[in-house]
Structure 1
Amino acid sequence: MEPLLSVDEGSKENMHVPEQTETPVPRTLTQQELDRLGAEQTLVSNFKLMKLEQEAQKNWDLFYKRNTTNFFKDRHWTTREFEELKACREFESQKLVLLEAGCGGGNCIFPLLEEDLNIFVYACDFSPRAVDFVKQNPLYCPERCCAFQCDLTKDDLRTNVPEGSVDVITLIFVLSAIHPDKMKMALQNISRVLKPGGMVLFRDYGLYDHAMLRFKAGNKLGENFYVRQDGTRSYFFSKEFLAEIFEDQGFQTITNDYVLRETVNKKEGLCVPRVFLQSKFTKPCVSGSS
């Protein structure tokens, strides 16, 4: 049986995390892994595909109902991995306006708000329950944070965020949960609220990640796209596909690399190869680029 969510760097597991390696090429698969991927060509029916799309919000809301805010660790690594959260300021006391698209229960935004007093965060999530958890956090303060429910593929962000007002947008393990056909709509949406010259900081599942290789028959929705036991979905990105969908929406690629590492669970005697894609994109300072 598939786990509720595959273990990633954010989930609370008894794991030791060694140093990571950034590389422009994906992980090399063993012959056994190649054979397994080659054998998994059967896709779910169109009926199930449509049903999963229709129930996507419900499935994520149920995920947060079951797990509340206990599944993911607070992401204190964000400023380490994305120095732009500090470096993009023109002067030290400048207030940074950030949008976290797909905020979950606030595991990224609250460490940022604690660490940086000159930051205002817009935070949205597909799940109304996740947004409620953010608002219930003792650190939530309307003067420094505005949380709201939003489907990035159809709800105009400008209803809650002024157009062209955001310095930095984070997309951290978010785009993978969206159907590949709708990813460009989500990117169009975030582009409208990003300032010219603003930055998108991206981290998500990469091609041939351990989680991708664990899916069993009956879980494949499309190329690199799978469904978990709980109905939530996950796409595994190649750097070429990611660059293509961002550049099609007018963004420029700054960096775009695979992050490879092995997560070791000493208690269980497991060594798990993880692959993430970590990338940075900018909105050009050109009139009409949105």
Structure 2
Amino acid sequence: MDAERVDMDSDRLEQHVQRAKEAIANDKKEVPPFWINKYKKEAAKNWDIFYKRNTTKFFKDRHWTDREFEELAPKEGDQQIRCLEIGCGVGNFIFPAIAENPNLFVYACDFSKRAVEMVKSNENYNESRCQAFVCDLTIDPLIDNVPTESLDLVSALFVFSAIPPEKMQSAIKNIYQVLKPGGYILFRDYGLYDQAQIKFCKASDKKLDENLYVRQDGTMSYFFSVGDLSSRFEAEGFKTVKNEYIYRETNNRRLELSVDRIFVQAKFQKPL
């Protein structure tokens, strides 16, 4: 095994956070307003180009989701669970999830038309188990493709970080309409002070706004604190069930490289 992830010890975490705070404080140079608006306006286009260049080879399949979120794991009985994955990419969540749980039906959407086409062309795509469609969560009503209050779960894995902060509330309101009362959003994304944020700070002209950065390919990444995250979902009527940082030390033995990762993992519920 070339790489493994272990919990970060407290001393290492403290040192890492201190380095991150220093890097953020020293990152004074922001991208000019013209380019900020351009990156935000062309977000879907830039992700479409990303998938054209990388096809299905960039992200690994997510076989860990049912361990992190028990709601996705198979259970006794034959009651169907209806889930929506937002920001589905090329299907790295969808296909492992439906293979693992025979009672799971997954709607899947992405604002990259190319990514959705790759999902539909996958040999495991079967509309009796999954249905993929193109959707920009911030402007396109989900109810055009998903019945109102019909979903048990919404999977939001590393997708909100690609949405400009000022547009996140529109996406959350959109999700609220299709979740059943009592339904859950299962959330995981980049956390404040993650190693990737330090890397952005050390590069020039990557900062678009507070905790929002642009990659070389024009795609964006936002880094959440747990307080910031809860406030966004609670403002739209959700209840925070769980919200915490996940600290991981990733070791690549082959490259003799160690990277400190910080994620936020949360569960939000639509009230009964």
Give 2:45's aligned residue: 58
Residues in 2 aligned to 1:115 and 1:223: alpha-carbon distance in whole angstroms: 39
Give 2:124's aligned residue: 139
More helix per residue: 2
Q: 1:199 to 1:173 in 2, by over 3 A?
A: same
Structure 1 position 275, deviation (Å): 0.4
Aligned length: 268
Residues 1:208 and 2:193 aligned together: yes
Residues 1:171 and 2:174 aligned together: no
Contact 1:22–1:259 (CA under 8 A) maintained in structure 2? no
Give 1:249's aligned residue: 236
Residues in 2 aligned to 1:42 and 1:120: alpha-carbon distance in whole angstroms: 46
Residues in 2 aligned to 1:183 and 1:70: alpha-carbon distance in whole angstroms: 28
Residues in 1 aligned to 2:183 and 2:18: alpha-carbon distance in whole angstroms: 43
Structure 1 position 19, deviation (Å): 2.9
Amino acid at match of 2:239: Q
Runs of 4+ in structure 1 off by over 4 angstroms are none
Structure 1 position 86, deviation (Å): 3.5
Contact 1:263–1:273 (CA under 8 A) maintained in structure 2? yes
TM-align CA RMSD: 1.8
Secondary structure in 2 matching 1:18: strand
Structure 1 position 21, deviation (Å): 6.3
Residue deviations 1:65-110 (CA, integer Å, cap 9, x gap):
01101111110000000002248x7x62100000001100000010
Structure 1 position 115, deviation (Å): 1.0
Give 1:288's aligned residue: none
Unmatched 5+ stretches in structure 1:
1-13, 286-290
Q: 1:42 to 1:54 in 2, by over 3 A?
A: same
Structure 1 position 117, deviation (Å): 1.2
Residues in 2 aligned to 1:257 and 1:138: alpha-carbon distance in whole angstroms: 36
Give 1:10's aligned residue: none
Give 1:112's aligned residue: 97
Contact 1:224–1:237 (CA under 8 A) maintained in structure 2? yes
Secondary structure in 2 matching 1:176: helix
Give 1:47's aligned residue: 34
Secondary structure in 2 matching 1:152: coil
Equivalent positions of 1:77-88 (< 5 A) are 77-86=64-73
Unmatched 5+ stretches in structure 2:
none
Give 1:148's aligned residue: 133
Q: TM-score, normalised by structure 2?
A: 0.94
Contact 2:8–2:249 (CA under 8 A) maintained in structure 1? no
Residues in 2 aligned to 1:17 and 1:131: alpha-carbon distance in whole angstroms: 31
Residues in 2 aligned to 1:21 and 1:278: alpha-carbon distance in whole angstroms: 16
Structure 1 position 133, deviation (Å): 0.5
Secondary structure in 1 matching 2:254: coil
Secondary structure in 2 matching 1:240: helix
Structure 1 position 279, deviation (Å): 0.3
Contact 2:87–2:108 (CA under 8 A) maintained in structure 1? yes
1:232 pairs with one of 219, 224, 236: 219
Q: TM-score, normalised by structure 1?
A: 0.88
Secondary structure in 2 matching 1:114: helix
Amino acid at match of 2:48: D
Residues in 1 aligned to 2:196 and 2:138: alpha-carbon distance in whole angstroms: 25
